[in-house]
């Protein structure tokens, strides 16, 4: 159990570094994917709502600490979305096909980005609707596309025996 936690933490740090280093390279017209959101949703789908809550908080607070903004907003958004979607799914990761994963991730990213934009746009000149059209929706779709590609790669999927083993551990 401790080894899995340490491995997950190391993977999270790698994804955070990738978020910092690769995001500018993946940027299209000012829109960047949220790699940490993909990582948090993967953990939530594989390990349940509480794992998503913890991973969302840790990823969000790490993102908050390196970004300019209100500290705690990203942690609150990521952890809340991961927890409630995890509760809604009920640990049924085998039912998610790549298309369902794309839709789930895009929806989670849309809610996350909308919630964060409510805080970030306080006192700014840009309107919420304009920001939604220019940034929130494209970013959510872009995150969904990157997540879709990620899940199709060999390291993005769990082997059937690992899925069964993780479900057995969770049920005990």
What residue ranges do the domains of the chain occupy?
A: 29-157
Question: What are the residue ranges in the chain where pLDDT is below 70?
Answer: 91-95, 155-172
Distance CA 110, CA 153 (A): 23
Residue 169 confidence (pLDDT): 47
Tokens read off for 38: 């993909």
Distance CA 169, CA 172 (A): 5
Residue 155 confidence (pLDDT): 60
Residue 158 confidence (pLDDT): 55
Residue 97 confidence (pLDDT): 82
Residue 165 confidence (pLDDT): 43
Distance CA 161, CA 168 (A): 10
Which residue from 53, 51, 44, 50 is spatially nearest to 75, judged by alpha carbons? 53
Please say whether the beta carbons of 60 and 79 come within 8 A. Answer: yes
Q: Is 33 helix (H, G, I), strand (E, B) or coil?
A: coil
- Structure confidence by residue, pLDDT tens digits, 13-37: 999 999 999 888 999 988 999 999 9
């Amino acid at each position: 159990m401790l080894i899995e936690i340490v491995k997950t933490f190391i993977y999270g740090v790698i994804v955070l570094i990738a978020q910092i280093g690769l995001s500018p390279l993946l940027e299209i017209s000012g829109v960047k994917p949220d790699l940490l959101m993909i990582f948090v949703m993967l953990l939530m789908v594989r390990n349940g709502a509480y794992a998503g809550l913890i991973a969302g908080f840790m990823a969000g607070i790490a993102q908050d600490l390196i970004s300019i903004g209100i500290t705690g907003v990203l942690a609150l958004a990521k952890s809340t979305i991961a927890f409630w979607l995890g509760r809604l799914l009920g640990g049924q990761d085998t039912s998610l096909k790549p298309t369902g994963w794309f839709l789930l991730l895009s929806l989670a990213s849309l809610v996350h980005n909308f919630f964060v934009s409510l805080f970030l746009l306080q006192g700014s000149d840009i309107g919420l609707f304009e920001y939604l059209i220019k940034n929130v929706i494209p970013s959510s779709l872009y995150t969904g596309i990157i997540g879709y590609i990620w899940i199709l790669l060999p390291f993005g999927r769990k082997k059937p025996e690992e899925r069964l083993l993780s479900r057995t551990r969770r049920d005990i």
